A and B are shown apart, each in its own frame.
Chain A
């Protein structure tokens, strides 16, 4: 995998703002669990398909999504 995409599941508020921007429709709610806030947290079912565009992380108002580039390539800076 070129990218690690990590969700801080316990802090997800289930707002949906991360979902519609992924052109591969990779993000969905994990209906099999509830977090401490009582919501089905956002998750990525097929992380191997992620191209690291960052749209989901950029739109998350609570900064619960972290995207790491796994290869040693520091050409791209952190966008936030």
Chain B
């Protein structure tokens, strides 16, 4: 008997407290199964953030340090510099990374810090009740943009992968989605590649995951996956923005 699919060992045996159908759960499962596959469970240090993703340390069966809002890349810098042989990653939402933590993420990439960021973009501040984020789409209604986001007032959505890929210290940057089994399998490969890039000592790596927040979007979980396809992917094209291959420096 062999287990083909199941709860990865790098997850604790506690139920996720995310809302029903929230893809934070799916994403944590992918991160944990990549850690299992690389046999790095005892050699991983995760860096938690503020937001719904901030529950990650409770759910993952790896060592953890928790951060103030947006500051995970600063903590990860210290953790990785002192522990260069460990797999170090931050797990951050779009409010955390693309709003309050913009300076930290840009300068971590700029310094070429050798950790990985898993960036969960659900176009809103989930935990605090669905406010507008820099990543909110044009026309999207949130509690702080009740008539829909207006580009004239609030600018265009911020494209983190495109922005970071202009920075030399960033070595692997990819945007993926989790809207179907095919996309989820691709997302898992992307996470693996980013972790490999880190362990090869190449530099900074980031995977942006187009994700859902059914509760604050006011949609069912399946409608939310559909919204990733019909609204998010056209605004946030998927793909590799900075490529790295084994052997590259």
Which residues of A are interface residues toward B (Cβ below 8 A)?
3-4, 11, 13-17, 20-21, 39, 52, 54-55, 57-63, 65-70, 72-74, 76-80
A20: contacting residue among B5, B18, B29, B222, CB under 8 A: B222
* Closest CB in chain A relative to B74 CB, distance in Å: 29
B4–A76 contact, CB under 8 A?
yes
A61–B5 contact, CB under 8 A?
no
Chain B residues with CB below 8 A from A58, complex form? 5, 181, 184-185
Q: How far is the CA of A18 from the CA of B21 in the complex (A)?
A: 10
B60 contacts the other chain (CB 8 A): no
Q: How far is the CA of A57 from the CA of B29 in the complex (A)?
A: 11
Interface of chain B residues 194 through 243 with chain A (CB within 8 A): 214, 220-222, 225
When C-beta atoms are compared, the residue in chain A nearest to B221 turns out to be: A15
B15–A11 contact, CB under 8 A?
yes
Given contacts A61-B26, A78-B36, A80-B33, contact A68 B4 (CB under 8 A): yes
A74–B26 contact, CB under 8 A?
no
B2–A80 contact, CB under 8 A?
no
* Closest CB in chain A relative to B13 CB, distance in Å: 10
A61–B23 contact, CB under 8 A?
yes
Task: Identify which of A11, A65, A69, A79 gathers the most chain B CB atoms within 10 Å of its CB.
Answer: A79
When C-beta atoms are compared, the residue in chain B nearest to A13 turns out to be: B20
B24 contacts the other chain (CB 8 A): yes
B4–A52 contact, CB under 8 A?
yes
Interface of chain B residues 20 through 53 with chain A (CB within 8 A): 20-26, 29-30, 32-34, 36-37
